[in-house]
């Protein structure tokens, strides 16, 4: 009980499991026991931010920085919090302070690039080039610097140099992950094999009847954050974040990978009765309540939930599901140029990306076949062409009246925790369309991976 490091690790484990209320209570108890401890205070600030108490978290971070001005990690955390609430100018100030404290702090350089609307000057680029090339730069910093330089060179239309850095950053990240594309394909194929019309029919009266959840699924970088921002501008819908509860439930059912194939997830669902499935639905509603602000409906926009639509249907049969779809080349290249904080291991190799996109489309086709009408597909390009028409279409699907505020989504003040946070605070723009064409000469592995199913691209 007196081991501070273990207790801090406990808070972080709860945080990573998105058990934010428990994490905050544990951090507060630690802070009361050891007031003034920098590690505890910083952890507590993180927990305030996680539950949406941004003013308290930011104030605590600013106080810590007054006493500890040369703490780049605190400046980075402050920048992330300010970015989430839309204070881009102050976020830039915090990220730059982190870089001043440590010139090779790759995460701070990438955080500036990841603002999307930020542009580096020549001095910034020269510093990043020097730090990335330095022999003593740590691998994690080098990876972040490569992605930041890829974005900086892209903004300057130096696409050859940009590609060199993107390719280098992806190659370095890919080596650290051990991603197995064949295993992922097999996992998605198991979903298709298990969720047959007969299996779904045998559980027709199972699950929790609540219609509160709206799941936005699909590939990352396909426009899901934009759809969330549009819909959360409606008075009846709360936007939340990418919630981890459905993937976590799938992991538990799978014994966290310890069960033999055919005895884990999704096959274990066949042994569960209606009461158990209803209880899982109720647990999801209880666990996500901390993220809601009182509206009748709320959004879970975890993209990877497309893998678990069968599970969602069994435990929450009245939940609505929207598939955010984007042109395959645009979507895949958008992922390749993005360094994710965690997860999305398939994005760091062009062939893996193309294969995963094909598997995603195949699984979504399966859900359409066995659960007709369950999923509304919204094409990003259609939103750009006819915003009002697509807004009305989504609200009709959700059974909600049209509200003009959804067309002015960029005026909605809410925390946005994804890489698109800056973009969804602007009116629609098309600068990201066909961006991949600047890099076409290097994208043959992606084109070949997509080519076995020509239906996946609208180009």
Per-residue pLDDT of 174-231, as tens digits, reads 999 999 999 999 999 999 999 999 999 999 889 999 999 999 999 999 999 999 999 9
pLDDT attached to residue 142: 98
d(CA 35, CA 437): 55
d(CA 205, CA 276): 12
Same domain, 254 and 378: yes
Percent above pLDDT 90 for the chain = 81
pLDDT attached to residue 459: 41
**Helices 20-33, 4-16: crossing angle, 10 deg rounding:** 160
In this structure, what is the dihedral angle of CA atoms 196, 199, 202, 206, given to the nearest 10 degrees?
A: -100
Establish if 175 belongs to a structural domain.
no
In this structure, what is the dihedral angle of CA atoms 306, 389, 116, 331, given to the nearest 10 degrees?
A: 40
Establish if 453 belongs to a structural domain.
no
Q: Among 150, 160, 148, which Cα is nearest to 440's?
A: 160
- The average confidence (pLDDT) of the chain is 92
Cα first-last separation, the chain: 60
From 87, 103, 127, give the residue that closes a domain. Answer: 127
pLDDT attached to residue 458: 41
Structure tokens at 365: 């086709």
d(CA 129, CA 125): 6
Percent above pLDDT 70 for the chain = 94
pLDDT attached to residue 139: 98
- Contact yes or no for 115/418 (Cβ under 8 A): no
Establish if 174 belongs to a structural domain.
no
Reported as type and span, the H/E element at residue 428 is: none
pLDDT over 50 at 454, yes or no: no
CATH number of the domain that 19 lies in?
A: 1.25.40.10
Per-residue pLDDT of 51-96, as tens digits, reads 889 999 999 999 999 998 889 999 999 999 999 888 999 999 999 9
Establish if 151 belongs to a structural domain.
no
Same domain, 228 and 376: yes
d(CA 178, CA 189): 21
Strand partners, 379: 325
* DSSP code string of 228-263: HHHHTTSTTEEEEE---HHHHHHHHHTGGGTSPTTT
Same domain, 210 and 320: yes
* Mean pLDDT of all residues in 311-326: 97
215 three-class SS? strand
Burial grade of 302 (CB within 10 A; 0-12, 13-18, 19 or more) = buried
* Mean pLDDT of all residues in 237-257: 90
Length of the chain: 459
- Contact yes or no for 285/300 (Cβ under 8 A): no
Label residue 303 by pLDDT band (50, 70, 90): very high
Per-residue pLDDT of 101-111, as tens digits, reads 999 999 999 99
d(CA 1, CA 455): 58
Same domain, 238 and 339: yes
Q: What is the DSSP letter of 34?
A: S
252's CB contacts (< 8 A; 6+ apart) are none
- Predicted model pTM: 0.90
Number of domains observed in the structure of the chain: 2
Structure tokens at 341: 């904080």
Structure tokens at 427: 């009116």
* Mean pLDDT of all residues in 22-48: 93
Per-residue pLDDT of 99-151, as tens digits, reads 999 999 999 999 999 998 899 999 999 999 999 999 999 999 999 999 999 99
Could you list the residue range(s) of the whole structural domain that residue 235 is in? 184-433
Establish if 336 belongs to a structural domain.
yes
209's CB contacts (< 8 A; 6+ apart) are 317, 318
pLDDT attached to residue 261: 72
CATH number of the domain that 412 lies in?
A: 3.40.50.300
Per-residue pLDDT of 394-445, as tens digits, reads 999 999 999 999 999 888 765 655 555 455 556 666 677 889 999 999 999 9
Helices first, then strands: H and E counts in the chain: 21, 5
């Amino acid at each position: 009980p007196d081991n501070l490091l273990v207790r801090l690790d406990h808070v972080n484990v709860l945080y990573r499991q998105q058990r934010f209320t428990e994490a905050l209570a544990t951090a507060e108890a630690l802070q009361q026991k050891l007031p003034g401890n920098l590690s505890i205070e910083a952890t507590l600030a993180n927990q305030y931010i996680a539950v949406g108490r941004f003013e308290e978290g930011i104030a605590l971070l600013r106080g810590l920085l007054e006493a500890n001005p040369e703490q780049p990690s605190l400046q980075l955390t402050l920048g992330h919090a300010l970015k989430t609430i839309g204070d881009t100018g102050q976020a830039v100030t915090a990220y730059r302070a982190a870089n001043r404290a440590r010139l090779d702090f790759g995460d701070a350089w990438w955080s500036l690039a990841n603002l999307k609307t930020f542009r580096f000057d020549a001095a910034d680029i020269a510093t990043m080039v020097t730090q990335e090339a330095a022999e003593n730069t740590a691998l994690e910093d080098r990876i972040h610097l490569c992605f930041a330089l890829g974005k900086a060179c892209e903004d300057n239309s130096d696409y050859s140099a940009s590609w060199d850095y993107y390719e280098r950053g992806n190659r370095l990240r890919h080596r650290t992950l051990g991603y197995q594309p064949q295993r992922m394909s097999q996992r998605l194929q198991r979903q298709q094999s298990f969720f047959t019309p007969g299996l779904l029919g045998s559980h027709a009266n199972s699950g929790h009847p609540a219609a509160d959840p709206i799941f936005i699924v699909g590939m990352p970088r396909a426009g899901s954050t934009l759809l969330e921002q549009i819909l959360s501008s409606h008075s009846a819908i709360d936007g939340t974040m990418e919630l981890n509860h459905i993937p976590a439930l799938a992991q538990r059912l799978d014994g966290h990978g310890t069960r033999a194939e055919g005895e884990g997830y999704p096959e274990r669902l066949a042994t569960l009765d209606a009461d158990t499935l209803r209880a899982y639905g109720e647990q999801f509603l209880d666990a996500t309540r901390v993220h809601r602000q009182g509206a009748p409906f709320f959004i879970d926009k975890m993209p990877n939930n497309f893998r678990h639509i069968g599970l969602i249907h069994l435990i929450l049969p009245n939940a609505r599901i929207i598939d955010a779809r984007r042109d395959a080349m645009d979507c895949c290249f958008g992922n390749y140029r993005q360094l994710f904080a965690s997860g999305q291991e398939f994005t760091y190799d062009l062939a893996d990306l193309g294969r995963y996109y094909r598997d995603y489309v195949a699984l979504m086709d399966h859900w359409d076949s066995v659960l007709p009408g369950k999923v509304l597909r919204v094409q990003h390009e259609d939103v750009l062409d006819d915003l009002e028409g697509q807004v009305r279409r989504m609200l009709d699907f959700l059974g909600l009246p049209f509200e003009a505020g959804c067309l002015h989504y960029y005026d909605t003040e809410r925390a946005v925790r994804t890489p698109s946070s800056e973009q969804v605070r602007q009116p629609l723009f098309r600068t990201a369309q066909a961006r991949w064409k600047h890099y076409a000469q290097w994208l043959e592995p992606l084109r070949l991976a997509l080519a076995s199913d020509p239906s996946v691209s609208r180009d």
